[in-house]
A and B are shown apart, each in its own frame.
Chain A
């Protein structure tokens, strides 16, 4: 029985490790996907307000490449959110038209942005690439023609840092839960195993008693009671018959 106990505890530990590990894993990925979703939606909300402003200007007949108030607005919007590194507006070939970052205003946007923007059609698009990560929106005129794209560049490292912080927190709580669960499961399993040991100990005590052929009520009612009774009846029967034969043999000898 003692040899089985460590194995049963190992089962409890492994099962708790699997369950809590999987739950921790799910928690982390759920957090990450939700945090990313909220972040993207936050950037898109900012982008949409800029896009609405551009559309209003276009509806007034202004040229897309000649929106005088746009640079100021882009700068204001960039300043409202410390996550945004820069806001860029570029045409369908990736040529920058407006940017809050002067250094970037002279060179074409990253190929990944243009590819993602084209692949998305008129929908929102996202690129994850370190400090070149971006959330983007297509800018269309009143006829639905795509004139260019608006990209809000952000640093993924910033996002990763906060994700890792939560990951650590989740990992610590999962570890705590695992240790507690494994300990609790081990204790309770040992109690279950103890009951099994008790059943066996009762049988052992009955067999060691002065009159093993008359097991106690507890043993008789226990899981081994019926089988043990049959065993003892059989042994008692055989012993009685042997004893009787011996008595007969010896009595005959005395005569």
Chain B
């Protein structure tokens, strides 16, 4: 009851916030439209006046050569040239001193002829170089420039600009505003979960537990303080109802006991029946005093890790759309290495450190506690981001990104460790969903915001924002409990041994899943999403905001489809089907670039990559268990999955390297296609 009810409460709260945010964004767009109109219309008028000045000087030059004002030749050609120089121009006309149109080109605004004859407009001819402000006429802003010879005023040059040039500017921002809306939705859910959800969930859980206990016949008295929770009043009454039943039973039991202590001849005749009834009652219901639970609410402890993890991963995800471009701007010649490979190096190094470092950092995290490991990791990462913002060349950036990788790996394994520490066998899957959920939501929110920030405040400032976020995550990490192992029976983390690694590398069943499914999928992910897309989209003249939006598509598809696909992976056949379909679909994403080369195709490609990855990601891990039963029995699940993750993450490192080599040899589009084909094969 409490889960579905809580979900409905969440949805109602989030839906309400979203409606208000949409209204706010619409109001903001309306107000900014007005501000833009007020500020940009005069600027646009000055611009067209600059162009108009040269057209006017041509007219005056012709008149200097004694050509009559009404007999000018080539005026329309001059108007066309002016329009070519200033495409925003919608209409150009020259009128005589009475405001009668002599020459005109393009589409006149409604009421133009009447406007030109107005005394206020004709008064402009009194000053030779006057450039009056733009006046709205119909659907255009019209600038009227007097044409005055040294002898007399001869007419006016009118230039119109369609008022919708401001609309176009506002519409250009529409995609970014939609991005803000999507991110706001996820942010709302995260904040609700972090700030109010834990309390609400705890209160509902408490309420649900009390009701379920009573409904299940458990009336044993508890020592919980109902008033401490959000639903204290109701809980108190429910507990009172349970206590009343418990007290009635207790009183009856006492009376029966008193009766039983009496001599046999004094005992009431119904005593034996009542005693038997009492025993039957005790078998069906629970009375007395409940054993108090000493365990802290693990759900609460688990939920607490989500917020810091989200903020931390968000910091790294901010860099996705602009990092390759930033590296490119810091390129220095490195002997024996092409520019394409050097651009990929910081990404490769990052992935390599995360892959190799995680097993060792897992042991470190166990030793010092997940909270401390997360604090250290977030600190190192913040330092890495801050230093990356001040990088001079790609060489020092390599060092700073390595720091980011070390910190990232540390926080990742420590957060994973925290989940393992506080999850029970019953809620492990849900706990990991919480962990993966934080990462996925950050994957949705980070890239588009990073792209927008990089476009507007620059890559270096965005890296500084990432550093601030990493620092911000420290504040949230500090709320986590210290060194605490709630499940002492859980085996400690260990790094995969060489023997285990060798044994699994030679195992064809294990390698079929790892080498032919997991690694290609990761190569495609990092090669395409982290390397090819940011560089290719910029190379075709698009912006980093667009890269961010494209990468957000991947995250959104993963968030929506991955849980559905995971729920479908219930049998080995289904898992195999999902993995195969996933690889084919994501490979088709790469192949899609054969069809076209514009941004729309890249969007479609990333949609397919996301779809394919979300179909296969959960089934892949599950298949390892299905196919490697013997190995799991011999080496243990931890060892098998440790090696699986290690090899899979090495695929992450291989992706950008392979993509760089392909770009160097065949160019961007062919690299997309070949990476896709590799995965499909």
Contacts and interface: CB of A to CB of B under 8 A. Distances in A.
Contacts of B148: none
A56 to B, nearest CB: 12
Interface in B201-220: 203, 207-208, 211-212, 214-217, 219
A242 B35 contact: no
B53 interface: yes
Given A7-B195, A170-B35, A249 B268 contact: yes
Contacts of B85: 45, 48
A232 B634 CA distance: 53
B611 to A, nearest CB: 28
B249 interface: yes
Given A7-B199, A26-B452, A185 B16 contact: yes
Contact of A241 (B1, B29, B51, B281): B281
Given A207-B234, A227-B1, A177 B31 contact: yes
A24 interface: yes
A234 B214 contact: yes
A7 B202 CA distance: 15
B420 to A, nearest CB: 29
Contact of B13 (A189, A231, A233): A189
Contact of B196 (A7, A25, A169): A7
A246 B255 contact: yes
Interface residues of A, number: 93
B268 A38 contact: no
Interface string A17-58: 011101111110111001100110111011011001000000
Nearest to B259: A249
Q: Which of A24, A212, A245 has the largest count of B CB atoms less than 10 A from its CB? A: A245
A29 B452 CA distance: 10
Contacts of A139: none
A43 B49 CA distance: 11
Interface in B250-294: 252, 255-256, 259, 268-271, 273-274, 277-278, 281, 285
A62 interface: no
Interface in A66-93: 77, 79-81, 83
A200 interface: yes
Given A41-B86, A252-B271, A25 B456 contact: yes
B44 A22 contact: no
Q: Which of B49, B268, B271 has the largest count of A CB atoms less than 10 A from its CB? A: B268
Contacts of B208: 227
Contacts of B102: none
A190 B462 CA distance: 36
Given A178-B24, A249-B259, A192 B214 contact: no
Given A23-B29, A25-B456, A242 B245 contact: yes
Given A230-B211, A238-B285, A162 B39 contact: yes
Contacts of A203: 234
Contacts of A43: 50
A23 B39 contact: no
Contacts of B270: 248-253
B483 interface: no
A3 B277 CA distance: 45
A227 B29 CA distance: 47
Interface in B228-252: 230-231, 233-234, 237-238, 241-242, 244-245, 248-249, 252
A204 B17 contact: no
Q: Which of B12, B39, B169, B234 has the largest count of A CB atoms less than 10 A from its CB? A: B234
A20 B20 CA distance: 11
Nearest to B46: A42
Contacts of B217: 234, 238
Interface in B153-186: 169, 172-173, 176-177, 180-181, 183-184
A223 interface: yes
A118 to B, nearest CB: 19
A31 B166 CA distance: 10
A10 B196 CA distance: 9
Contacts, number: 278
Interface in B27-65: 27-29, 31-32, 35-36, 38-40, 43-44, 46-47, 49-51, 53-54, 57
Contacts of A24: 28
Nearest to A81: B50
Q: Which of B43, B50, B449 has the largest count of A CB atoms less than 10 A from its CB? A: B50
Given A29-B456, A192-B12, A252 B172 contact: no
Contacts of B560: none
A8 to B, nearest CB: 5
Contacts of A242: 245, 248-249, 252, 281
A14 B12 CA distance: 17
B17 A38 contact: no
Q: Which of A20, A41, A188, A230 has the largest count of B CB atoms less than 10 A from its CB? A: A41
B237 A20 contact: no
Contact of B20 (A83, A185, A238): A185
A203 B590 CA distance: 57
Contact of A239 (B13, B35, B207, B244): B244
A221 interface: no
A79 B32 contact: no
For the complex of A and B, 6 pairs with smallest distance between CB atoms: A252-B270, A181-B24, A49-B54, A253-B268, A230-B215, A42-B47
Given A42-B43, A166-B35, A249-B271, 6 more contacts: A15-B21, A20-B28, A45-B86, A162-B39, A239-B248, A248-B273
